[in-house]
A and B are shown apart, each in its own frame.
Chain A
């Protein structure tokens, strides 16, 4: 089975901190994605990547950046965390024209 691992299940950070959310997949998938999930809003795409060193903006990229230096790892960076970035963050990977496998999620609270 494909495994997508997110480094932290729960995080609490202070406003203004730089925050790194890490995601690793073990099946050599080209495509990786970062979503946030909020009640009533569903999953919204922040950034995605189709290959190493490639990145594209999703629907809500403001306040975020990403890094994909290795195929298996896709990092989401909050340059200066704000309270409106308190959310559940979900990473997913996919081998092309197929569905996603999701990680377990990171619940981030910014205080």
Chain B
């Protein structure tokens, strides 16, 4: 089975940095995804990690350690529009199914 944990909610100030952690226990592993979801909207793809290390994409970076079953999403230079839920999802060894964590709601304050 799959078990994915991430914090429920985080608050940060505009211009600051926030790190959202995700830990997982899975029967197989073939990649980890991060999605952003604004209230009432569909999730949109942010990042993908399949090898250990850091992937940087503008203000957003994602890190993976497969041996520790751990990932984080780093949001830098926070903007008000970054207020959203961030979903961690793991793809198992077989097929293309994603299992999602409960999501982390990030609130950016002025």
Residues of A bordering B, CB below 8 Å: 4, 31, 33, 35, 40-45, 48, 50, 58-59, 90, 94, 96-97, 99-105
Interface residue ranges of B33-86 to A (CB < 8 Å): 33, 41-45, 48
- A94 near B99 with CB under 8 A, answer no
- B42 near A99 with CB under 8 A, answer no
- Interface residue from B33, B42, B87 paired with A105 (Cβ < 8 Å): B42
- A104 near B42 with CB under 8 A, answer yes
> What are 7 sample pairs from A and B whose C-beta atoms fall under 8 A apart?
A40-B8, A40-B102, A94-B96, A100-B43, A102-B44, A104-B41, A104-B42
Indicate whether A96 sits within 8 Å of B87 (C-beta atoms), given known contacts A42-B101, A105-B42. Answer: no
- B43 near A102 with CB under 8 A, answer yes
Indicate whether A43 sits within 8 Å of B100 (C-beta atoms), given known contacts A50-B95, A99-B48. Answer: yes
* Closest-CB distance, B62 to chain A (whole angstroms): 12
- B99 near A99 with CB under 8 A, answer no
Which chain B residue has the least Cβ–Cβ distance from A31? B96
* Closest-CB distance, A98 to chain B (whole angstroms): 8
Give the docked Cα–Cα distance between A48 and B95 (Å): 11
